[in-house]
Amino acid sequence: MIKKMKLPHIPPYKTKMIEPVYFRSKKARSEKIKEVNFNLFNLHSDWVVIDLITDSGTGAMSEQQWAEIMLGDESYAGSESFFKLKKAVKKIMGFNLIAPTHQGRAAENVLFSATLKEGQVVPGNAHFDTTKGHIEFRKAKAVDCTIKEAFDTSTYHPFKGNIDIEKLENVIIKYGPETIPFIVITVTCNTVGGQPVSLENITKTKEIAKKYNIPVYMDIARYAENAYFIKIREAEYKEWSIKAIIKEMFRDIDVVWMSSKKDGLVNIGGFIALNNYELFEKLSQFTIIYEGFVTYGGMSGRSMGALAVGLKEACDFHYLEDRIGQVAYLGEKLKSFGIPIQEPTGGHALYIDAKKMLPQIPQSEFPAQLLAVELYIEAGIRGVEIGTLLADKDPKTGKERFPEMELLRLAIPRRVYSNAHMDYIAEAMKNVKNRAKELKKGLVIKKQAEILRHFTVELDRK
């Protein structure tokens, strides 16, 4: 009898080109972080050993994408590469109209300029910071309706990105449907840990929206990762292909926008896609003012071509299994060292619970930022704070806002690092955990901007 041998998992790709990594001493890093005011955005990348600041635009492109770059049509109007992108969006997502933009927040700027006014309210699952920034910049209000389980890192819920349907309806009743220009569903929900939204929840959200005649928009930066979670965690869709799930996710959604730097598998780009021609004409005015002519919207022809290929590659089950499997692999390692993480692990990042790791540091002293600083000093790993710094002060009262969670996000770039890098990250985090009790004080702000302060803030040790 032939015995079936189980083979270990390997990534469905191999390396063709490499980038060097530079190593510095712990002492040098600890001087450098002070020099850059304890803001990791200020570090030159050659001072970083493993860069987990974001999964946005940091992925490696495939040979097919690079080939498409050589075919890029850089015509100002009517670029062939634009039509390749339009065709890919239609085929994968089912939308007829597309407005390219230079990245995700640019899509928010164009779309919200056409659809959002002062005093209006935008409910949804936890809005990403640029989304909230663009809403608040227009003196409108973002209301977070994410399920409560999302805010407890140790509770298991397969779809922590879900919207609390009862809360959503209460918000609609409280503010009145006429003040709500649209509801936003972000897939996956970055702010609560790259957590997915179930198809059941998307359907229920659409039903409520229909009841009150409110359009539903989707921020689809990580649409393919969300579809993968639906396939593996939502029993009804187990046998469905990723492509079929994606189509179902977007059925009857009014508008989607995307930062293509994530599941578009490109280094820059974004777009808005929809079927409503009237709204498309309206927003095209803003595309032209802010981004460029409607057939490139701030993107080069070659980037649009690479994106058309990337959108398709992102839907490959084996790619997604490897990608999300790598995040889960790191999650398991961290857990084995007793490091508190958001569970279950999400699609693109690990989120470490800084309140649990540094209980002695109050939120007013930015514990998650302190953890980011310490991990950098320890091993040259650059993560990002998702906590009080990111939350910004309340634009109305000017007071500090303390979010429920203080997280250190370690975002994993797509197709860049191996599991050996994941082992290095886990060991480094273990070392930080072992000396966490010695950290008696957090950080204080020396200088800050009013909106999206985390990018430029200057800090010091307290």
Ligand X SMILES: Cc1ncc(COP(=O)(O)O)c(C=O)c1O
From the CB of 376, what's the least distance to ligand X, in Å? 20
Residues 3-22 that bind ligand X (CB under 6 A): none
Q: Residue 411 CB, nearest distance to ligand X (Å)?
A: 9
Helix (H) or strand (E) holding 27: helix 26-35
Rounded Cα distance, 89 and 94, in Å? 7
The stretch among 62-70, 100-108, 164-172, 315-323 that binds ligand X (CB under 6 A) is 100-108
Q: How far separated are the first and last CA of the chain, in Å rounded?
A: 69
44 labelled catalytic? no
At residue 461, the 3 state secondary structure works out as strand
Per the DSSP assignment, residues forming a β-bridge with 460 are 444
- In the region spanning residues 110 to 129, those forming contacts with ligand X, defined by CB under 6 A, are 128
Q: Tell me which residue has its CB nearest to ligand X.
A: 104
- Cα 233 → chain centroid: 20
Q: How far apart are CA 454 and CA 388, in angstroms?
A: 9
CA nearest neighbour of 43 among 62, 30, 25, 56: 30
Q: Are 206 and 252 in contact (CB under 8 A)?
A: yes
Q: Which residues contact 174 (CB under 8 A, 6 or more apart)?
A: none
CB of 188 within 8 A of CB of 145? no
Per CB under 6 A, the segment of 97-105, 163-171, 240-248, 444-452 that binds ligand X is: 97-105
C-alpha to C-alpha distance for 403 and 391, rounded to whole angstroms: 7
Count the residues of the shown chain that bind ligand X, applying the rule CB under 6 A.
14
| Residue from 55, 73, 129, 254 carrying the catalytic annotation | 129
Is 221 one of the binding residues for ligand X (CB under 6 A)?
Answer: yes
Cα–Cα distance between 336 and 317 in angstroms, integer?
A: 28
Fill in the amino acid letter for 461: R
Question: Which is the catalytic residue, given 38, 82, 112, 128?
Answer: 128
Residue 3: CB minimum distance to ligand X, A: 46
- Considering only 219, 353, 374, 392, the residue that binds ligand X (CB under 6 A) is 219
76 has catalytic annotation: yes
The residue annotated as part of the active site, out of 22, 41, 76, 337, is 76
Q: Is 130 in the site for ligand X (CB under 6 A)?
A: yes
Q: Does 298 bind ligand X (CB under 6 A)?
A: no
286 vs 442, beta carbon nearer ligand X:
286
- Active-site residue (options: 73, 219, 254, 353): 219
**146 forms part of the interface with ligand X (CB under 6 A):** no
Which position among 39, 48, 56, 331 is part of the footprint of ligand X (CB under 6 A)? 56
Active site residue 454: yes
Q: How far is the CB of 461 from ligand X (least distance, A)?
A: 28
DSSP result, 287-347: IIIII-STTTTT--HHHHHHHHHHHHHTT-HHHHHHHHHHHHHHHHHHHHTT--B-SS--S
Catalytic residue among 107, 126, 209, 221: 221
Does 226 sit near ligand X (CB under 6 A)? Answer: no
Q: Using CB under 6 A, pick the residue from 59, 72, 100, 104 that binds ligand X.
A: 104
Residues from 237 through 296 that contact ligand X (CB under 6 A): 259, 261, 270
Both structure tokens of 347: 């699609």
Catalytic residues: 76, 128-129, 219, 221, 262, 454
Residues lying near ligand X in the complex (CB under 6 A): 56, 103-105, 128, 130-131, 186, 190, 219, 221, 259, 261, 270
